[in-house]
């Protein structure tokens, strides 16, 4: 299955909440959306009087993402949503009007998304630093944690995050620190019933942690971490590496074993310079083309989620869907023509084969072939056999001869039988004359 959607609330949505965005995405024929945790405000405060004795998930006026229980001089924070609030607790309240103001709204939003078959993921704040180790890193850990709470309540199975800049830290040391901090977040996820995976997004600049090899190293090392393919970032960082369907297929091959059959990615047009992204653009105007990716997806058995983070958001998300469908239509038409061509070739080959077989059979049994011809003209053959003797007589009549012409023996028998003869034989004439002469002499 292939899913398409915007990174955040569609620009055309009249309502500016994720709930409105889910409904509008469905109406557009799209089926994915990312909750962007980019505009939020965090406050820590003691409980209100009415909140004491309640659980965070029961409170409608605010979204309490953490409850801190006093322990010595510090607090131990949990984020299950089921802690009973006490007077001495310290509450962490997250204000994200575009997402929801309490647990009930978030859960209703997740139910709506499932009913409309809209895939939901949560993107943590864009500025994250898991390398430097200073106060920004601690806030980054908290931001990813709170994104996990939102993911749990809406039913999302993925929290997407960047890692941050290397700064002055060597790459090897940066990898060690990133692993350590991600392990802290994963442990906090497990303790608070958050089952979403952490998806580490590839980065588009050389100064940022998040090359393809680094992201894959994290996925290999940490259970619960998965790679997220930002195609524009990969294309930029590798100086225009994604140009053909085979380029995308090689990329799928690298990440497939970490993704469980679904390849999740971001797409937009992009401009870059010497391995660094300069800005995201609409898909039609960028150096990165979508058609090769569509071809590669159609050749793959994987499921795909494509989130558009171009300046046009839902417009380009719909464009990606249209291009994929158009590519599929051309492929089906091409395959149909090929099937028809092969069928015609097979039919011609079969006709030629039958003709050759008949020719070979005729050479092996010529008598049979002659008999077949005789059967085709039986009367003519019979007449010729019957007339083979009398034909000479007929020819004799025509030439003036007689059928009564005797042989030598027949002539003698007819002569001795006293047959009527008009002229005597020459021998008889000679005998008579000789007798007369002889009688005269005797006298």
pLDDT at 360: 84
Better-scored residue on pLDDT, 218 or 355: 218
Q: What's the mean pLDDT in 37-44?
A: 86
* Distance (Å, whole) CA 364 – CA 251: 62
Q: Which stretches of 29-160 are DSSP H helices?
A: 103-115, 135-154
pLDDT at 266: 97
Q: What's the mean pLDDT in 388-402?
A: 45
Instruction: Kindly report which listed range (241-245, 258-262, 323-327, 423-427) carries the lowest average pLDDT score.
Output: 423-427
| CB contact at 8 A, 320 and 304 | no
Residue 443 has pLDDT above 50, yes or no: no
Q: Which two tokens stand for residue 123?
A: 């993107």
pLDDT tens track for 226-285: 999 999 999 999 999 999 999 999 999 999 989 888 999 999 999 999 999 999 999 999
Q: Is the dihedral of CA 129, 135, 141, 143 positive or negative?
A: negative
pLDDT at 379: 53
Better-scored residue on pLDDT, 254 or 440: 254
377 alpha carbon, distance to own chain's centre: 64
265 alpha carbon, distance to own chain's centre: 17
Q: For the chain, give the mean pLDDT.
A: 85
pLDDT tens track for 186-236: 999 999 999 999 999 999 999 999 999 999 999 999 999 999 999 999 999
Better-scored residue on pLDDT, 188 or 367: 188
pLDDT at 100: 80
pLDDT tens track for 147-170: 999 999 999 999 999 999 999 999
Q: What's the mean pLDDT in 93-100?
A: 87
pLDDT at 422: 46
Q: What's the mean pLDDT in 429-441?
A: 43
| CB contact at 8 A, 179 and 218 | yes
Q: What's the mean pLDDT in 275-296?
A: 94
Which helix (H) or strand (E) segment is 408 a member of? helix 408-416
pLDDT at 223: 94
| CB contact at 8 A, 29 and 318 | yes
- Secondary structure tally for the chain: helices H, strands E: 14, 14
pLDDT category, 377, cuts 50, 70, 90? low
pLDDT at 401: 45
Q: What's the mean pLDDT in 396-415?
A: 44
**3 state SS of 308:** strand
pLDDT at 438: 42
pLDDT at 437: 43
* Distance (Å, whole) CA 36 – CA 217: 26
pLDDT at 276: 94
Q: Which stretches of 222-283 are DSSP H helices?
A: 231-237, 245-255
Q: What's the mean pLDDT in 11-35?
A: 93
pLDDT category, 417, cuts 50, 70, 90? very low
Residue 145 has pLDDT above 70, yes or no: yes
Percent pLDDT > 90 in the chain is 67
pLDDT category, 367, cuts 50, 70, 90? low
pLDDT category, 423, cuts 50, 70, 90? very low
Residue 315 has pLDDT above 90, yes or no: yes
* Distance (Å, whole) CA 369 – CA 359: 11
pLDDT at 350: 87
Top-ranked range on mean pLDDT: pick from 254-258, 303-307, 327-331: 303-307
Residue 29 has pLDDT above 90, yes or no: yes
Which residues, 6 or more positions from 341, have their beta carbon under 8 angstroms from its beta carbon? none
- Lookup result for tokens 């300046």: 311
Residue 407 has pLDDT above 70, yes or no: no
Better-scored residue on pLDDT, 350 or 247: 247
Instruction: Kindly report which listed range (243-257, 300-314, 361-375) carries the lowest average pLDDT score.
Output: 361-375
pLDDT at 5: 96
């Amino acid at each position: 299955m292939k899913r398409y959607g915007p990174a955040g609330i569609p620009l055309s949505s009249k309502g500016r909440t994720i709930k409105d965005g889910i409904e509008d995405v469905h109406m557009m024929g799209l089926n994915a959306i990312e909750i962007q945790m980019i505009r939020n405000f965090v406050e820590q405060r003691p409980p209100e009087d009415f909140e004491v004795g309640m659980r965070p998930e029961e409170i409608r006026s605010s979204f309490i993402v953490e409850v801190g229980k006093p322990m010595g001089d510090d607090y131990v924070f949990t984020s299950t949503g089921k802690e009973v609030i006490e007077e001495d607790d310290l509450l962490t309240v997250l204000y994200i009007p575009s997402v929801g103001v309490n647990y009930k709204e978030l859960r209703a939003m997740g139910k709506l998304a499932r009913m409309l078959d809209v895939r939901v993921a949560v993107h943590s704040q864009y500025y994250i630093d898991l390398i430097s180790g200073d106060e920004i890193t601690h806030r980054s850990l908290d931001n990813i944690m709170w994104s996990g709470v939102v993911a749990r309540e809406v039913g999302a199975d993925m929290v997407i995050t960047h890692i941050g800049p290397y700064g002055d830290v060597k790459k090897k040391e940066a990898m060690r620190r990133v692993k350590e901090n991600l392990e802290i977040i994963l442990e906090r996820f497990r303790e608070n019933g958050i089952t979403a995976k952490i998806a580490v997004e590839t980065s588009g600049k050389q100064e940022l942690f998040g090359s393809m090899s680094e992201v894959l190293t994290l996925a290999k090392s940490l259970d619960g971490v998965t790679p997220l393919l930002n195609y524009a970032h990969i294309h930029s960082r590798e100086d225009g590496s994604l140009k053909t369907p085979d380029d995308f297929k090689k990329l799928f091959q690298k990440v497939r074993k970490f993704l469980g059959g679904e390849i999740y990615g971001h797409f937009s047009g992009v401009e870059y310079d010497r391995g660094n992204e300069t800005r995201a653009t609409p898909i039609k105007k960028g150096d990165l083309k979508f058609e090769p990716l569509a071809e590669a997806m159609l050749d793959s058995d994987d499921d795909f989620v494509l989130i558009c983070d171009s300046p046009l958001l839902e417009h380009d998300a719909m464009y990606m869907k249209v291009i994929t469908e158009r590519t599929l239509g051309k492929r089906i038409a091409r395959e149909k023509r090929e099937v028809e061509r092969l069928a015609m070739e097979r039919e011609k080959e079969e006709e030629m084969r039958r003709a050759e077989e008949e020719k070979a059979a005729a050479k092996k049994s010529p008598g049979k072939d002659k008999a077949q011809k005789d059967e085709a003209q039986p009367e003519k053959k019979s007449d010729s056999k019957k007339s083979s003797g009398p034909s000479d007589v007929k020819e004799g009549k025509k030439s003036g001869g007689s059928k009564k012409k005797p042989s030598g023996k027949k002539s003698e028998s007819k002569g001795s039988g006293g047959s009527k003869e008009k002229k005597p034989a020459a021998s008889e004439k000679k005998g008579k004359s000789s007798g007369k002469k002889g009688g005269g002499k005797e006298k």
